[in-house]
């Protein structure tokens, strides 16, 4: 079974701090994704990566950056945390095998910015 | 802009009945549509994928339909059980890179 592990389930940080959220997958997937999920807005794509050192902006990249130095690890960085970044953050991975492949999600990090 | 609509109100049904959830999309012509289940405090879990040239797809008690004319997908759970209580998300998808756009989900509550 695919396992996507997010480093923290809950995290509390202060406004202005630099915040790192880590995600590791164990299935050698090429594609990795970061989403945030807010009530009434659903899952929104922040950034994705289809290969090591490659990254693409999603629908809401402002205030975030990402890093993918190794295939299994995809980090989300909040450069200067703000209260409107309080949210549930979900990481996912998928294979680039032939055909459409499902995304496999971690259990999320609930981030609170005070 | 692309819009995906799922009923935001919770669907309450009795155990044993069939639950039907709706996903409508506009300004969009997806080639595929995926359905996921999400339990509270957990990440979404993939359930089913249907292609635009498939009218219907089944997996055990689950059935998904895809009507490209109506721009709608229906998700059915037959003989529902309390364990089916969760939020169900639809995610249409184009060809090319596997980037999904998710609906906001419908919460299903199955009472014993």
Q: Hey, is the C-beta of A8 within 8 angstroms of any chain B C-beta?
A: no
Q: Hey, is the C-beta of A27 within 8 angstroms of any chain B C-beta?
A: no
Query: How many CB pairs below 8 Å do chains A and B form together?
Result: 52
Cα separation, B76 vs A106, in Å, equals 26
**Cβ pair B102:A90 closer than 8 A:** no
Q: Express each pLDDT in A35-57 by its tens digit.
A: 999 988 889 999 999 999 999 99
B32 → chain A, closest CA residue: A100
**Cβ pair B98:A42 closer than 8 A:** no
pLDDT of the residue at B58: 96
Region for A107 from its dihedrals, namely left if φ exceeds 0, alpha if ψ lies in -120 to 50, beta otherwise: alpha
Q: Hey, is the C-beta of A103 within 8 angstroms of any chain B C-beta?
A: yes
Q: Hey, is the C-beta of A43 within 8 angstroms of any chain B C-beta?
A: yes
Instruction: Name the token pair of A111.
Output: 């981030």
Give the pairing of strands A109-113 and A10-13: parallel
pLDDT of the residue at B97: 63
Q: Hey, is the C-beta of A101 within 8 angstroms of any chain B C-beta?
A: yes
Region for A29 from its dihedrals, namely left if φ exceeds 0, alpha if ψ lies in -120 to 50, beta otherwise: beta
| Interface mutation vs chain B, best among A1, A42, A44, most B CBs within 10 Å | A42
pLDDT of the residue at B98: 67
SS (H, E, C) A25-79: ECCCCCEEEEEEEECCCEEEEEEEECCCCCCEECCCCCCEEEEEEECCEEEEEEC
**Cβ pair B44:A90 closer than 8 A:** yes
Give the pairing of strands B11-14 and B106-111: parallel
pLDDT of the residue at B101: 86
Residues in chain B: 112
Q: Express each pLDDT in B30-70 by its tens digit.
A: 889 999 999 999 999 999 999 989 989 999 999 999 999 99
pLDDT of the residue at A96: 83
Chain B CB contacts of A106 under 8 Å are 43
pLDDT of the residue at B2: 77
pLDDT of the residue at A99: 73
């Amino acid at each position: 079974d695919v396992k996507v592990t997010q480093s923290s389930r809950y995290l509390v940080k202060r406004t202005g701090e630099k915040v790192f959220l880590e995600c590791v997958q164990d299935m050698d997937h090429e594609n990795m994704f970061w989403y945030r999920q807010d009530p009434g807005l659903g899952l929104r794509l922040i950034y994705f990566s289809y290969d090591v050192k490659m990254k693409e902006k999603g629908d809401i990249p402002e205030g975030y950056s990402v890093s993918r130095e190794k295939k299994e690890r995809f980090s989300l960085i909040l450069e200067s945390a703000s209260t409107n970044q309080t949210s549930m953050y979900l990481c996912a991975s998928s294979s680039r095998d032939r055909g459409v492949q499902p995304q496999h999600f971690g259990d999320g990090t609930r981030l609170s910015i005070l | 802009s692309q819009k995906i609509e799922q009923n935001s109100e919770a669907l309450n049904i009795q155990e044993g009945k069939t639950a039907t959830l709706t996903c409508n999309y506009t300004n969009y012509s997806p080639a595929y549509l995926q359905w996921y289940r999400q339990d509270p405090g957990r990440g979404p879990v993939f359930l089913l994928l249907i292609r635009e040239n498939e009218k219907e797809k089944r997996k055990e008690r689950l059935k998904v339909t895809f009507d490209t004319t109506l721009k709608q997908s229906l998700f059915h759970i037959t003989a529902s059980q309390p364990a089916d209580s969760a939020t169900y998300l639809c995610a249409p998808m184009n060809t090319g890179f596997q980037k999904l756009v998710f609906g906001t989900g419908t919460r299903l509550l199955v009472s014993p």
